[in-house]
Amino acid sequence: LGKVTCFSVFACVSVRRIFMTFTRKERRKKKKEERICCSLHLHRPWLCFWILHSLELLEEPVPSAVASDVCQFLARCQSPTGGFAGGPGQHAHLAPTYAAVNALCIIGTEEAYNVINREKLLDFLWSVKQPDGSFVMHVGGEVDVRSAYCAASVASLTNVLTPKLFEDTTNWILRCQNWEGGLSGVPGLEAHGGYTFCGTAALVILGKEHMLDLKALLRWVVSRQMRFEGGFQGRCNKLVDGCYSFWQAGLLPLLHRALYKEGESALSRQRWMFEQQALQEYILLCCQNPTGGLLDKPGKSRDFYHTCYCLSGLSIAQHFGNMDLHHEMILGKEENRLAPTHPVYNICPEKVAQALQHFHRLPVPEDTRQQGTVEPEKQQDLRQK
């Protein structure tokens, strides 16, 4: 990977300016398209999360009236049986539940926190828990490691995580690590970037990441960064994709800290274990639409999903460390700097700490099936990650 040239530095146009232009245009188009657009009908909480997280990374404030509207909309997406659906009146599903909880934590107001019915959320999590420790995405739905991560993420953020709820989940996730070193969606399949992130982050939340083969996982993920493009592929022999800027690069902070806890002495105190500059070059030079928004690769269309995860990966590449040790590497102009993102939850660290503090003041909902709660020390550890 070559050094950045003067031309490429000047070509790093402001992601802040173009994204805000994109967002304003899309908001204006929204009402016109509501009647005919159905492709994202099942993903509406995701749209809230992708946009809100992109804005918080850009450090753009959300007007209080808009934030309140989002809270009211997500409240309509909450199922009477617990959890959140892809839209009002639909069945609860772990993926939009994750998106809705993250979006509400980004807003971070009392109104936002009060939307979440924690007692019903715990009931919903139990309804999708399987005897082998895995989770289905919805009642009667499919099993894969995404569901374990979504369940662990929302349970830990809202303080409904109990050892009984996640009994055998660690062992099930560990079975997803294959001979390549990465993790698959279910045991026995091909390693994949999104599944690897979900499985690893879930184990971090559960405090069991040390049980992975960390060296094999490290070898697999660093091999996914493309030598020429600088971005990441999702699987072996696949093309680069901007969204893996987070799903793959986001693994490196988790691995760095896991290896540090294992006593690895050769770890850098200034850089993650990937080419941070090369990833920034790929995102800034190859993944921006000139009129706003980010994308998979040149020639592809922009969308809020790729905008969110390209920006999330750019944030990971710009910031090393945590609140106690922080080092920045910003390519191009200072206005290219994004806010840090939490590598486990993918929302800003202060919003994670604020949510944990708020919900930890509340008791874990009573549940005859649970045999204890997560120790306060574990909650403090998550704030520091």
What are the residue numbers of the active site?
A: 192, 235, 238, 241, 243-244, 296, 303, 306
Sequence-separated (6 or more) residues with CB below 8 Å from residue 235: 190, 191, 192, 193, 224
Query: Which SS3 state, helix, strand or coil, does residue 163 take?
Result: coil
Cα gap 148→151, rounded to integer Å: 5
Burial readout 12-25 (b: 16 or more C-beta within 10 A, e: otherwise): bbebbebbbebbee
Task: Locate 137 and state its tokens.
Answer: 């995405």
Query: In 250-356, at which residue ranges do the beta strands (DSSP E only) sit?
Result: 319-321, 326-328
Among 180, 200, 284, 296, residue whose Cα is nearest residue 243: 296
Q: Which residues contact 279 (CB under 8 A, 6 or more apart)?
A: 225, 230, 231, 232, 245, 249, 313, 314, 317
CB atoms inside a 10 Å sphere around CB 41 = 10
Say if CB 4 and CB 276 are below 8 A apart: no
Adjacent-strand bridge partners of 302:
295
